[in-house]
Amino acid sequence: MSPTARVPAAVVTAVGSALPPDVVSNSDLTARLDTTDEWIRSRTGITRRHIAGADQSTTDLAVRAAAMALTSTEPEHVEALVVATTTPDRCCPATAPAVATRLGLTEIPAHDLAAGCTGFLYALATGAGLIAAGAARTVLVIGADRLASLPHPEDRTTVPLFGDGAGAVLLRSGSAEEPGALGPLVMGSDGTGADLIRAERPGALHMDGADVFRHAVDRMSTASRQATTAAGWDLADVDRLVPHQANSRITSFVARQLGIPEAWQLSNVAQVGNTGAASIPLLLASAVADGQLKPGHRTLLTAFGAGLTWGATTLTWPDLAPRRLPEGAGHDR
């Protein structure tokens, strides 16, 4: 590429989502945990969450979400795949190659990325980097997690928080001026807070709620300001805030810090809980489906997660065709 050539931008062209069929309500939890529906709602905003069964893996969820995103794209047009997850099916090998194979994406580069609940934004940055470098013209970015498997089953403070799911977006090479083009990506980490959210193994999640809350609000707010400034936006320009869905109190505090009205804040945490790396793409897909996110909306994405990690980026939402998962797509074969 010559010094005067323009670096291609990563443009969002499709979204997809997948949720397990089994739903666990607050009432279901109160039947076995020392908690109440009012306690859960007032502290988290969550009323129910989708939980994967023993026969549904992170790979299964990722494949289903990706299949929805790919309903109008031939598999041979996808040139790279990134899966952001905290809950891979195995320590080794990675989840992404199996996802690619089941989607019919033969021999393309595919890898996992672990950055906690910020994983999807880190994966977007990876996809955008591949496109900018000319290594791929089309990249499939997936966030998939089975976080409900991490808390101890009798931990009343963490069990209600988490659900399972996957979301995907398709990126293609394009112009920075067109709708759907990702703006500057702001990311950061702070390993001194590594112990605030940790899980040495499934069933042994530890989270320091008060410190996590404080860091999440501060880091997401700061990254959001940096991302909008880098994009040449004022915060008043933002039409839709798409924050990681950790709990409703965190997202409300972030919106308040940024001066973004509640009506412009997208949320599905009440229905799905905290789905980790799947959180933002799941929210994008549901907001498109129910009409809350429309073409031309200036959209701000931001997240915070274990690591500690955080990030933010912007885009003007493109005109995307509605997506429906093809019959039988994404099932084991």
Q: Active-site residues: which are they?
A: 117, 244, 274
HSE-CB of 192 using CA atoms within 13 angstroms: 2
Backbone angles phi, psi at 9, to 5 degrees: -95, 160
Torsion of CA 109, 113, 119, 123, to 10 degrees: -20
Of 320, 10, 311, residue with least CA distance to 183 = 10
**Which residue(s) pair with 302 in the sheet?**
243, 312
As a whole number of angstroms, the distance between CA 196 and CA 124 comes to 25
As a whole number of angstroms, the distance between CA 49 and CA 274 comes to 8
Helix axes 37-44, 248-258, angle to 10 degrees: 30
Q: What SS3 class is residue 194?
A: helix
As a whole number of angstroms, the distance between CA 53 and CA 190 comes to 34
HSE-CB of 173 using CA atoms within 13 angstroms: 17
Q: What type of residue sits at position 205?
A: L
